[in-house]
Structure 1
Amino acid sequence: MSTKINETRNRGFVSEFEGLRGILALWVVVGHMMSGLSESHALPSASLWNTVPVQVFIILSGFVIFSLLDREQPSYRTFLIHRAFRLFPAYLLALAISVFMLPFAREVLLTSPVAPMTAARIALIDSATSNLSEHLAAHLLLIQGLIPDSLLANSAYTLVGQAWSVSVEWQFYVLAPAVYLLMGAPKRLLKLPALCALIMLMISLNSSMGGGYIGQYLSLFAVGIATAYLSKYSEKSKILSVLPPLLALPFMQEYTAALLIWAASSYCALPPEKNSMQGVLSAVLNSTAASYLGKISYSIYVNHMIFVFLTLAIINTLSMSSTSTVVLAIAASTVLTVVFSHVTYSYIERPMMRVGKYLTRTKSNLATA
């Protein structure tokens, strides 16, 4: 069994992390749905701590991308083309639908019972429509997180609010190969000053940038990157893979929940031989439902606000108890998002990823295909 697991992971796939993606994606859907319901005023956190799953996504991205770079060492062109065809196709469809829905979404919010996020979402829609061409241009290029509020207010969150983190991902993809090169073994000590200078430059811009800027999340990416490097030695010690999040806890207390989730996930996913506790956690993340949701998790993430607004519109036409409203809202938004995301994954995401890989095939590969 362990041999098969090692062969799979040598190809870069950790099945537990696929399941983790699926669970995190559903968490985001439920959190954003709840923050649009008046019933969530009674909750300690109206968004169900919705920042936590996104923080784990960022850590996971650091792990996955640096594992890929270390394993395949693709050219910069190949890497960026693959990543672009991974991110943009499904995202651009969600962007087009979201822009078309702006007047509808605003009307739904105005006619719904006031919820914790109602005023903020209306303000974002108004900000978007007042400078629509500028916001659209930024979103089309996925650079909305790089534009300071002083130049374009709320640019990271206007048209596809949840895509601020997709912009952060795109920024990371652009920079990751350079960072990997600077961290590489050949002449590492000579390259270290350049790496430190790059990090300090990025951090120095934090005060003037918004929440969609990569510099705000360098510590989370670093935890994932450190886990990727230490995971190569997980056969020697089961504790190595959880050291990065545990050592980061005293210095990153605002990310405590995300770090603990990552520590638990790494603990059960990375060691090839598992004890009983690791086996239980692994079984949950490897379940059929979690794995399926993980496969379509990116589509779930970029599409779900479309169905949050549609669900709010449906609920506004009904007269139900608070409990029934919450149950229906979560069920409807989740089911609609999952069904639509299955379609976009099958007919947009997966085919376009194949196109990206085809475009970067060498002539020798094409000749033998």
Structure 2
Amino acid sequence: MNTKNNETLKKGFISEFEGLRGIMAIWVVVGHMLSGLATSHYLPSPNLWNTVPVQVFIILSGFVIFSLLDREHQSYRTFIIHRAFRLFPAYLLALAISVLMLPFAREVLFTSPIAPMTAARISLIDTATNNLIEHLSAHLLLIQGLIPDSVLTNSAYTLVGQAWSVSVEWQFYILAPIAYLLLKPRQRMYKLPALAVLIALLASFNNKLGGGYIGQYLSLFAVGIATFGLSKSSTKSKILSILPPLCALPFMQEYTAALLIWTAASYCALNVKKNTTQNILSRILNSKPASYLGKISYSIYINHMIFVFLTLSIISKLSMGSSSTIFLAIGLSTALTIVFSHATYSYIEKPMMRVGKALSTRKLHSSAATQENG
């Protein structure tokens, strides 16, 4: 990889990946909206394979977090503080709104025409309502993905259904610095057995824990981490950045779509000298709409179900043809989500990230002063 690519990685911002994140976030909104419409029964896939964009998010997280750890060399405490202030503020607002909306959402689902996800969503609302304190406690700590169904049924998907992946992300944040340390070149051969034990231990709980548990997605995180590792190589070979997802394809066929998307994105993002195909992909991912959506993508993801239910309530009162209903539902839910997410990004995410950085910096200065005085 040439000097310009290395400088891009050192700065920690790859614009194509920002655009990819924005496009995937909108995909999630469209998929969840469609799965709430009765007309979606006639579509080949009512939820547009909505798990695909989340799988891409997980791969991307593996790349980005290891890039951050490699670039900034933060202490564990500083890393966790920054990540907590990145995830929790916007999430807690979405959680509060979602809890207050439970009766409204249930009523909307009962009065709307039956859609592919209607029964499942009503069941989740009822499950949450029957054990509200327990589900709320788990969600407040973002540990809902770590609770077995035998203890709390469907805990990963109840109050903020899409936040199961945020719980997975939080679990990854807690473990990522340890994995990074075990993968560092210095004395790597002595540390790899410890990493293997950690992976085996995490995987051993897969049968006991559900879809909100990190052990289910270790292979996806590994693809992103491996892509980052190869992106640091000094070679100029364009094939390196696409080796991890391509090599994973035969063994991870359930993730084929996500791996192919990641292959295409990393192929154009991690090479400076681009061919025609790479230039086309880069222009799409670097476009102003994609970049803007990428910037607010976390807020889009965490807030969108609020506006899916609100849109369902609005369109259920209208008498429209099926095609018109689909276009209105997608357009309205997406527009409302973007507007609200812009506000939460501007007034919650950004300020609270600054607070997290200031807090960790203050603690570092305080610790340094104590050591000097001692």
TM-score, structure 2 normalization: 0.96
2-structure distance, mates of 1:180, 1:246: 23
Shift of residue 45, structure 1, vs aligned partner: 1.1
Q: Secondary structure at the match of 1:312?
A: helix
User: Which position in structure 2 is the counterpart of 1:293?
Assistant: 293
Contact 1:20 1:290 in 2 (8 A): yes
After the TM superposition, which residues 247-258 of structure 1 pair with which residues of structure 2 at under 5 Å, given as runs? Answer: 247-258=247-258
Shift of residue 76, structure 1, vs aligned partner: 0.1
2-structure distance, mates of 1:150, 1:94: 27
User: Which position in structure 2 is the counterpart of 1:147?
Assistant: 147
User: Which position in structure 2 is the counterpart of 1:161?
Assistant: 161
Amino acid at match of 2:142: L
Q: Secondary structure at the match of 2:292?
A: helix
Shift of residue 235, structure 1, vs aligned partner: 5.1
User: Which position in structure 2 is the counterpart of 1:175?
Assistant: 175
2-structure distance, mates of 1:53, 1:99: 25
Q: Secondary structure at the match of 2:182?
A: helix
Shift of residue 363, structure 1, vs aligned partner: 2.7
Amino acid at match of 1:76: Y
Amino acid at match of 1:322: S
2-structure distance, mates of 1:139, 1:161: 10
Contact 2:5 2:270 in 1 (8 A): no
CA distance 1:327–1:234, change in 2 (3 Å): farther
User: Which position in structure 1 is the counterpart of 2:92?
Assistant: 92
Structure 1 segments of 4 or more deviating over 4 A? 2-6
Shift of residue 6, structure 1, vs aligned partner: 4.6
User: Which position in structure 2 is the counterpart of 1:363?
Assistant: 365
Unaligned runs of 5+ in 1: none
**Cα deviation 1:183-215 (Å, max 9, x = unaligned):** 112221111111111100111100010100000
2-structure distance, mates of 1:235, 1:40: 48
Amino acid at match of 2:360: T
Contact 2:22 2:290 in 1 (8 A): yes
User: Which position in structure 1 is the counterpart of 2:125?
Assistant: 125
CA distance 1:233–1:348, change in 2 (3 Å): same
**Cα deviation 1:261-291 (Å, max 9, x = unaligned):** 0000000000121111111100100000000
Contact 1:82 1:353 in 2 (8 A): yes
After the TM superposition, which residues 13-32 of structure 1 pair with which residues of structure 2 at under 5 Å, given as runs? Answer: 13-32=13-32
TM-score, structure 1 normalization: 0.97
User: Which position in structure 1 is the counterpart of 2:266?
Assistant: 266
Contact 1:234 1:270 in 2 (8 A): no
User: Which position in structure 2 is the counterpart of 1:50?
Assistant: 50
Amino acid at match of 1:30: V
Amino acid at match of 2:148: P
Amino acid at match of 1:363: H
Unaligned runs of 5+ in 2: 370-374
User: Which position in structure 1 is the counterpart of 2:188?
Assistant: 188
Contact 1:235 1:272 in 2 (8 A): no
Q: Which moves more between the two structures, 345-354 or 235-244?
A: 235-244
2-structure distance, mates of 1:67, 1:6: 12
Shift of residue 233, structure 1, vs aligned partner: 2.0
Shift of residue 355, structure 1, vs aligned partner: 0.6
Q: Secondary structure at the match of 1:324?
A: helix
Amino acid at match of 1:59: I
Shift of residue 8, structure 1, vs aligned partner: 3.5
2-structure distance, mates of 1:230, 1:13: 17
**Cα deviation 1:106-155 (Å, max 9, x = unaligned):** 00000000000000000000000000000000000000000001100000
**Cα deviation 1:23-75 (Å, max 9, x = unaligned):** 00000000000000001001121100100000000000000001111111110
Contact 1:234 1:271 in 2 (8 A): no
State the identity %: 77
User: Which position in structure 1 is the counterpart of 2:71?
Assistant: 71
Shift of residue 4, structure 1, vs aligned partner: 5.9
Amino acid at match of 2:264: A
Q: Secondary structure at the match of 1:360?
A: helix
Contact 2:227 2:244 in 1 (8 A): yes
2-structure distance, mates of 1:59, 1:22: 15
Q: Secondary structure at the match of 1:206?
A: coil
Amino acid at match of 1:310: L
Amino acid at match of 2:304: H
Contact 2:40 2:46 in 1 (8 A): yes
CA distance 1:234–1:280, change in 2 (3 Å): farther
Q: Secondary structure at the match of 2:44?
A: coil
2-structure distance, mates of 1:35, 1:56: 20
User: Which position in structure 2 is the counterpart of 1:341?
Assistant: 341
Q: RMSD over aligned Cα, in angstroms?
A: 1.6
2-structure distance, mates of 1:254, 1:282: 27
Q: Secondary structure at the match of 2:232?
A: helix
Shift of residue 242, structure 1, vs aligned partner: 0.3
Contact 2:6 2:232 in 1 (8 A): no
Q: Secondary structure at the match of 1:280?
A: helix
Q: Which moves more between the two structures, 270-279 or 136-145?
A: 270-279
